[in-house]
Structure 1
Amino acid sequence: MVAESSLVLRIPAAIYEQMVAHVVAGYPNEACGALGSQGDLVVKDYPTDNAAEEPDDFSIISEADIVRIYNDIDEYDGDMIYYHSHPQSEAYPSARDIDWAKRSGYLYVIFSLQYHPKPPYARLFKIDSAGSVTEGSIEII
């Protein structure tokens, strides 16, 4: 894994708190959602249900939610970022996360709830089409 100092995601504190509440509410399953961003600034949170067949082991946003989110993000010419939680492990892309991210090209924010009931922590990742993982940083503003 490579760390990239230029990969920064700025998240307003109110949105970050909404994300934390969403992933905690999903525990002990994985929770997921999307963020709308403009440049490096998150402007909207889209919490979703986990549509995976086995939500304790993986997370997927339903096709209907993806379409709804994309349509809304298009209204402000933004970009989509995927976020989800790992209830039992660290905030790092799993092999399955990497496989999905290679196809989607999304930035990933991953929360770890491995120390639940303590608050989760989050990390930012970019995964390229070859599966290389680059870690960025999250700034709560």
Structure 2
Amino acid sequence: MVAETSFVVHVPSTIYQEMVEHVSSGYPNETCGALGSVDGRTIKHYPTANAAERPDDFSIIGETDLIRIYDDIDTYDGELIYYHSHPITEAYPSPRDIDYARRSGYLYIIFSHRHHPEPPYARVFKIDVQGQVTEGKIAID
């Protein structure tokens, strides 16, 4: 169940286009990356390889990339937003996404390729420690 929309993530159009290109390049596997944000405004894009054992079924940022991203985000006192793609299903958190997100506290942007070959579309979610899913809005500036 999704609670009402309660937050907005601002993404510059150039970064959003980079994200679309990144997740599209990984199709038909899941693709992932991160954004650095300050006060709900995206300021940096970190495309990464998918380090999951089965990239057709899951995505995860590898430890080396994650450390590099965290180190950089610390330099501007930002927050990490995780993004990944769902090659077949809706842009909505899977049970596994919910389990990981409730532990990490990240916002999740999920792209869906379910209408492939059309470009993927994205939605953003906040998932609390109880697993409650709240959908936000992505504002492309």
Query: Do both proteins adopt the same fold according to a TM-score greater than 0.5, normalized to the shorter chain?
Result: yes
1:3 corresponds to: 4
* Alignment of structure 1 residues 83-98 onto 2, 5 Å: 83-98=83-98
CA RMSD of superposed structures (Å): 0.5
1:23 corresponds to: 23
Identity %: 64
Aligned equivalents of 2:4, 2:117: Cα separation in 1: 29
* Alignment of structure 1 residues 49-64 onto 2, 5 Å: 49-64=49-64
Gaps of 5+ in 1: none
* Residue 111 (1) aligns with residue 111 (2): yes
* Residue 138 (1) aligns with residue 138 (2): yes
2:45 corresponds to: 45
Runs (4 or more) in structure 1 with deviation over 4 Å come to none
CA offsets 1:19-78 (integer angstroms, 9 cap, x no match): 000000000000000000001100000000000000000000001100000000001110
Gaps of 5+ in 2: none
Partner of 1:122, secondary structure, is strand
TM-aligned CA deviation for residue 3 of structure 1: 1.9
TM-aligned CA deviation for residue 4 of structure 1: 2.3
